[in-house]
């Protein structure tokens, strides 16, 4: 990277820090805290067994001494480990308006990381493309958050493909305790069912899908060349042809519907967030829905 590009990234990190800190402090801190449970249970005390208690919590040593069944009681561990798994593949640099999908992903990650930081939780980062590129273990502190933002914006993978299976497999083998995993990607990939199922079975997985309007609907601008930023494949299409535009829109819609159905089947909360839209109402809705389910 050139000194100029490094300077530009640091300028963007600084601006993003100001915005994300404010949102985390004023908007999401309380909602974040009420939306996520602790990642485990800590032993608290013993008490006599009562009808309906889980028999697996009976402590047989204490029971033998007291000559009456006793169980172990636990308190919820409040501190979370939050993992931000961010897709930095070739398609992430696309954006038809002010923000690219990568920049939107960085902003989402910043808001979530600062919210976690305010609530005393640790945040880690996994950057991935065709393979895992960088892993920063969960830690606390503003300096750690700023480094994560910088790494997201500056990532330049050698192979720009996308492999969500590789990212999921890495997390399953690396993050031993249950964590909240935000998977931030455009999900323009195949063979997602098995890795998402495995990830959701161990961690509290949440999918944040970053999209751009031009990926859903082609404008009528005559003949254009479309290039796949991950494979380099190119094709020329005539966007004046109504059938071409309609076919493209239907393919996009089927892909979106398929992803939504897959997330639902695997019990994964998910949002679709656009580079040209306001993500705040969507995050509010996600946090409130999780709080409602937790308290019901």
The verdict on 44 and 129 lying in the same domain is no
| Total number of domains constituting the chain | 2
Q: What is the mean pLDDT of residues 91-95?
A: 94
The verdict on 97 and 226 lying in the same domain is yes
**Four-CA torsion 275, 281, 287, 291, nearest 10 degrees:** -160
Q: Which residues contact 130 (CB under 8 A, 6 or more apart)?
A: 89, 157, 159, 160, 161, 162, 163, 166
Q: Are 249 and 216 in contact (CB under 8 A)?
A: yes
> Is the four-CA dihedral 206, 279, 159, 126 of positive or negative sign?
negative
Other C-beta atoms lying within 10 Å of the C-beta of residue 203: 22
- What is d(CA 293, CA 289) in angstroms, rounded to the nearest whole number? 6
Counting beta carbons within 10 angstroms of the beta carbon of residue 239, is it exposed (0 to 12), middle (13 to 18) or buried (19 or more)?
middle
**What tens digit of pLDDT does each residue of 128-182 get?**
999 999 999 999 999 999 999 999 999 999 999 999 999 999 999 999 988 999 9
Among candidate residues 200, 215, 199, the one with its CA nearest the CA of residue 273: 215
Counting every residue written for the chain, the total comes to 296
**What tens digit of pLDDT does each residue of 12-42 get?**
899 899 989 988 888 787 788 778 754 455 5
Q: Are 90 and 161 in contact (CB under 8 A)?
A: yes
The verdict on 259 and 123 lying in the same domain is yes
pLDDT for the residue numbered 160? 93
The verdict on 58 and 186 lying in the same domain is no
The verdict on 270 and 155 lying in the same domain is yes
pLDDT for the residue numbered 74? 63
- What is d(CA 155, CA 241) in angstroms, rounded to the nearest whole number? 38
Q: Three-class SS of residue 224?
A: strand
- Give the residue numbers spanning the domain of 259: 3-37+80-290
pLDDT for the residue numbered 201? 95
Cα–Cα–Cα angle for 208, 212, 217, rounded to 5 degrees: 130
- What is d(CA 150, CA 94) in angstroms, rounded to the nearest whole number? 18
**What tens digit of pLDDT does each residue of 229-261 get?**
888 888 999 999 999 999 999 999 999 999 999
* Mean pLDDT over each residue of the chain, to the nearest integer: 89
Among 27, 53, 77, residue at a domain's last position: 77
The verdict on 54 and 140 lying in the same domain is no
The verdict on 21 and 125 lying in the same domain is yes
The verdict on 47 and 108 lying in the same domain is no
* 295 found inside a domain: no
The verdict on 62 and 99 lying in the same domain is no
Q: Are 217 and 249 in contact (CB under 8 A)?
A: yes
Q: Are 181 and 203 in contact (CB under 8 A)?
A: yes
């Amino acid at each position: 990277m050139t000194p100029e590009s490094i300077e530009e990234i640091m300028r963007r990190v600084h601006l993003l820090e100001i915005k994300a800190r404010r949102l985390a402090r004023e908007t999401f801190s309380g909602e974040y805290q009420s939306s996520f449970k602790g990642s485990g249970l800590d032993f608290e005390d013993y008490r006599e067994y009562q009808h309906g208690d889980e028999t697996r919590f009976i402590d047989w040593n204490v029971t033998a001494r007291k000559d009456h069944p006793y169980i172990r009681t636990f308190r919820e561990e409040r501190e979370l480990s939050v993992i931000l798994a961010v897709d930095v593949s070739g398609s992430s640099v696309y954006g038809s308006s002010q923000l690219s999908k990568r920049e939107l992903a960085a902003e989402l990650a910043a808001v979530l990381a600062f919210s976690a930081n305010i609530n005393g939780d640790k945040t880690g980062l996994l950057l991935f493309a065709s393979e895992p590129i960088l892993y920063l273990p969960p830690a606390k502190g503003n300096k750690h958050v700023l480094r994560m933002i910088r790494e997201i914006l500056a990532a330049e993978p050698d192979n720009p493909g996308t492999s969500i299976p590789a990212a999921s497999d890495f997390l399953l083998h690396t993050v031993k305790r249950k964590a909240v995993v935000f998977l931030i990607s455009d999900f323009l990939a195949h063979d997602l069912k098995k890795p998402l199922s495995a990830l959701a079975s161990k961690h509290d997985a949440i999918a944040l899908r970053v999209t751009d309007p031009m990926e859903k609907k082609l404008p009528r601008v005559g003949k254009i060349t479309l290039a796949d930023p991950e494979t380099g494949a190119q094709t020329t299409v005539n966007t004046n042809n109504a059938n071409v535009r309609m076919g493209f829109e239907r393919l996009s819609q089927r892909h979106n519907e398929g992803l939504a159905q897959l997330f639902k089947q695997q019990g994964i909360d998910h949002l679709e967030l656009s580079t040209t839209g306001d993500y705040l109402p969507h995050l509010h809705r996600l946090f409130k829905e999780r709080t409602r389910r937790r308290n019901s």
